[in-house]
Amino acid sequence: MDYPATHGSHAGHDHAHDLPFWRKYIFSVDHKVIGIQYAITGLLFLLFGFSLMMIMRYQLAYPGQPIPFIGNWFGADKAPGGIMLPEFYNQLGAMHGTIMVFLGVVPLAVGGFGNFVMPLQIGAPDMAFPKLNMMSYWVYFLGGVVMLASFFVPGGAAQSGWTSYPPLSVIAPDGQTAWLFGMIFLITSSLLGSINFIVTIVQLRAKGLSYMRLPFFVWAQFVTSFLLLLAFPPLEAAGVLQLMDRLAGTSFFLPSGLVVSNAVLTSMTGVADPTTRAGGGNPLLWQHLFWFLAHPEVYVLILPAMGIVSEIIANNTRKPLWGYRAMVYSVVFLGFMSFVVWAHHMFMTGMGTAMSAFFQTTTMIISIPSVVILTALLLSLWGASIRFTTPMLFALAFLPMFGIGGLTGLPLGLAPTDIHLHDTYYVIGHFHYVVAPGTIFALFAGVYYWFPKATGRMMNETLGKIHFWGSIICINLVFMPMFIQGLGGMNRRMYDGGMQFVHNADLLYWHVVIGWAAWGLGLFQLPFIVNFFSSIKWGALVDKNPWDATTLEWATPSPPGHGNFVTEPIVYRGPYEYSVPGSARDFTPQFEPERA
């Protein structure tokens, strides 16, 4: 291996300090720069996706009222007189989901944290394929541009839910076509990234770093990459089929004799021979292909978060993780199981009892590894010497929040109870608990934890604590009432908040509560944004290992230079050797030969 301190000639490769600005910071092939690019872009998209929801929340709290201050920005085709049209509500809803999942959370969790931290934690100088890594980021960026641009297409953005079910999505305006092309870019980016991650983890581990000495974060990213690699292609295929239906007049998803607005659907408008569509297609085909990806996708959303929380808990309890081996087996088993549960999203499509029994069973089985991981993390707190730093507060909060999210998933995974709860606000409450106070809290924790490694400076603790306490209170006020609304029978995706249905009357008030709580949640992100940028300039300076941690990334300078490690890293022990009896210090890093 070549290390900056030891190598001689380079076979035509530039030193980083010789590169012009645009190759060092814009089109960089360094995994740390790319990781930061992903992270900042992802955070910006999270903020944008959140703002879309804020606009929707006003409409839900006060249906039919003009949106204050910004209502006239949207134009007559979206909100004439500032009053939101149902079509615009649907666009905001579909794009909120798409942007949060595909442009926000995954790029931050996998592209951001995975890229920056994983090569450091395995002792690698960079990813296995640095140029491919750069391409992955820019293809993601392009996909994001296409998605944002789709708002300005005639007819507006995609408006058939993030799930894009046909036949509606096939006859929807042009924004849906933009969505499909955007998804193809994003899927390509994901595929290239996942290949890079797997090859890097398998091939570039440092000497002495066996699989069972890997930090759990790396295991989580490893399994996540397999999910992305194998689950995305069916959605890509489905996207191609839907594009064919929209642009080439095929009927992959359109049944025979489909009637739209009192007329039988024709082949293609503007074509010389608009005979009726061939038909013979199947809307359920889309659902199967979509959910075949989208179920593993939710594990893509949670696994990196579990990885981040694991690192922070081990570090801030000054103890090894409880049940590391069980956690590793669980996360691998979870990966396999995630491919055989998808139709629990389709219980209400008229499937027979044999099929629903199968998917209920696999869904119940998959909860076991999740619970093992959560329990192991909880047990890791027993007898611990807890340091309540900001990252640890977010990591600790993750545990009960993910617990609520997971438990509320049970009546959804069981078909009989799902009959009542499917497509209600209960579902929205469930998945937001897992992804918002779940994953996003873990991502915040990760930002506070690894910020000093990336910048050489600490974030401010006071601002961090304000961010934490404000967020945890408001986020529960946003999502807890949704379980009440859902159990009461309030359907999701209703632009008037369900006002037109008598059975919702007593539940409407909650929209106002949620709206105010959402505003509070938004306001409490300001301390985080201020903290993030001001700490880059004025945060307290730190050395290599400000958290007294044990994993390899803390062997490098803060921030690490090109090539990461000054001398070749060698691993001598497991990842969480904290509070070992007989040791002078309460931690022994993986990379130090002698125990102190």
Partner 1 sequence: MNIPYTVEARPDTGLPNGKLGIWLFLASEVMLFGALFSSYILLRVGAAEWPSGELSVPLGTINTIILIGSSVTMVMAWASLKLNNWGRHRLYLGLTFLLALVFLVNKYFEYAEHLHLGEGPNHSTFLAIYFTLTGLHGLHILGGMVVMAYFLGPGAKMWKTEPEQFTNRIEYTGLYWHFVDLVWIFLFPVLYLL
Residues found near partner 1 in the complex (CB under 8 A): 1-2, 4, 7, 10-11, 13, 125-130, 191, 194-196, 198-199, 202-204, 229-234, 236-238, 240-241, 244, 248-252, 267-268, 273, 277-282, 285, 288-289, 292, 562-563
Tokens for 563? 């090539």
What's the rounded Cα separation, in Å, for the pair 305 and 110? Answer: 10
Computed from CA positions of residues 246, 249, 253, 256, in that sequence, does the dihedral angle turn out positive or negative?
Answer: positive
Quote the radius of gyration of the chain (alpha carbons, Å).
25
CB–CB of 408/361 below 8 Å? no
Least distance CB 195 / partner 1 (angstroms): 5
Transcribe 353-378 into DSSP letters: HHHHHHHHHHHHHHHHHHHHHHHHHH
Phi, psi of 276 (to 5 degrees): -60, 150
Judged by beta carbon, residue 254 or residue 458, the one nearer partner 1 is: 254
What's the first-to-final CA gap in the chain, in angstroms? 28
- Residue 119 φ then ψ, to 5°: -60, -35
- Minimum gap (Å) between residue 326 Cβ and partner 1: 25
Cβ of residue 532: shortest distance to partner 1, in angstroms? Answer: 29
For residue 234, the minimal CB distance to partner 1 (Å) is 4
Minimum CB distance to partner 1 smaller for 288 or for 318: 288
The DSSP symbol for 118 reads H
Task: Select 134 or 231, whichever has its Cβ closest to partner 1.
Answer: 231
> Could you check whether the bond before residue 167 is cis, i.e. omega within 30 degrees of 0?
yes
- Residue number with CB closer to partner 1 (282 or 349): 282
Length in residues, the chain: 596
Q: List, in order, residues 6 or more apart from 188 with CB less than 8 Å away.
A: 139, 236
Decide: 377 and 396 in contact? Cβ < 8 Å: no
Which is closer to partner 1, CB of 239 or CB of 405?
239
Q: How far is the CB of 350 from partner 1 (least distance, A)?
A: 14
Closest distance of CB 228 from partner 1, Å:
9
Residue 259 parent element (H or E): strand 259-260
555 within 8 A of 588, measured Cβ to Cβ: no
Identity of the residue, 128 or 309, whose beta carbon is nearer to partner 1 in the bound complex:
128
Tell me whether residue 3 or residue 519 sits nearer to partner 1 (CB atom): 3
CB of 231 to partner 1, least distance (A): 8
Closest to partner 1 by CB, 129 or 516: 129
Task: Give the separation between CA 124 and CA 134, rounded to whole angstroms.
Answer: 17
Q: Which is nearer to partner 1, 233 or 411 (CB)?
A: 233
Report the distance separating Cα 507 and Cα 498, nearest Å: 9
Beta bridge partners of 544: none
Residue 20 or 274 with smaller CB distance to partner 1: 274
Closest approach, Cβ 292 to partner 1, in A, equals: 7
In the chain, the largest separation of any two C-alpha atoms, in whole Å, equals 85
* Least gap, CB of 356 to partner 1 (angstroms): 18
For partner 1, give the closer residue by CB, 355 or 580.
355
Place of tokens 């009927």: 251
| 530: Cα within 13 Å, side-chain hemisphere | 12
Task: State the nearest-atom distance from the C-beta of 258 to partner 1, in Å.
Answer: 14
Min dist CB 442 to partner 1, Å, is 27
Q: Which two tokens stand for residue 238?
A: 């489905």
Q: Which two tokens stand for residue 519?
A: 């505003």
